[in-house]
Amino acid sequence: MALNLTINTSNPPLGALLAAEHVKSSVQVSVEEGKDTQLLVSDSVQFSDSNSICRYLARVAPAVGLYGANMMEQTEVDHWLEFSARRLCGQPGLNITLGELNKALSLRTFLVGHALTLADLSVWAALKGHNEWPIQGESFSHVNRWFSFLSSQVPFTSVGKKYTTKKA
């Protein structure tokens, strides 16, 4: 089964691209550049918002564990997906939001459970694409630690380089 992900190059969905990179080993996803972001599943089913694309990719490849290990982790992942879409993306005034994120990360390596999930991908992507982040981020040590930990790993380095330079 081959999936076709079209991305809007002027505003690339970093979270969806990261998810696509992570599930690459079990599902074939081809990425094309186009005008609108869209994941074509079949003739009648397509998803056009980043969270739905992430959810679908995580569900198609359950072995990767991007949607958490149990129901409670799934709920946490849902929480962070909404958090990144509603509180981080395009919202001015990051201070309060970053404070909450910092608190959540104070005792954690990953946002949910003990492994990488969609939560990490989507929040990382939202911060990466946010123009206030590099300046505001300095005072939030836990967020910084977590962000640079993820940024140094493989899919994050390649996706980050490839799509954020293009945007600038």
Chain residues binding other proteins by CB under 8 A are 41-42, 45, 47, 49, 51-52, 55-56, 59-60, 70-72, 74-76, 78-79, 82-83, 86, 104
Q: 109 vs 158, which CB is nearer to other proteins?
A: 109
Q: What SS3 class is residue 38?
A: strand
> Computed from CA positions of residues 58, 9, 86, 100, in that sequence, does the dihedral angle turn out positive or negative?
positive
Q: Which is nearer to other proteins, 14 or 85 (CB)?
A: 85
Quickly list H helices, the chain.
14-22, 50-60, 71-82, 95-105, 118-128, 133-136, 141-151, 154-167
**Least distance in angstroms from the C-beta of 40 to other proteins:** 11
When the beta carbons of 124 and 163 are compared against other proteins, the nearer one is 124
Distance, in Å, from the CA atom of 97 to the CA atom of 38, rounded to the nearest integer, reads 28
In whole angstroms, the minimum distance from the beta carbon of 99 to other proteins comes to: 14
CB of 102 to other proteins, least distance (A): 12
Closest distance between other proteins and the C-beta of residue 8, in Å? 18
Give CA–CA dist 121/13, Å, rounded.
11
Task: List the end-to-end C-alpha distance of the chain, in Å, as a whole number.
Answer: 34
Q: Do residues 12 and 5 make contact, with C-beta atoms less than 8 angstroms apart?
A: no
Which one, 76 or 132, has the nearer CB to other proteins? 76
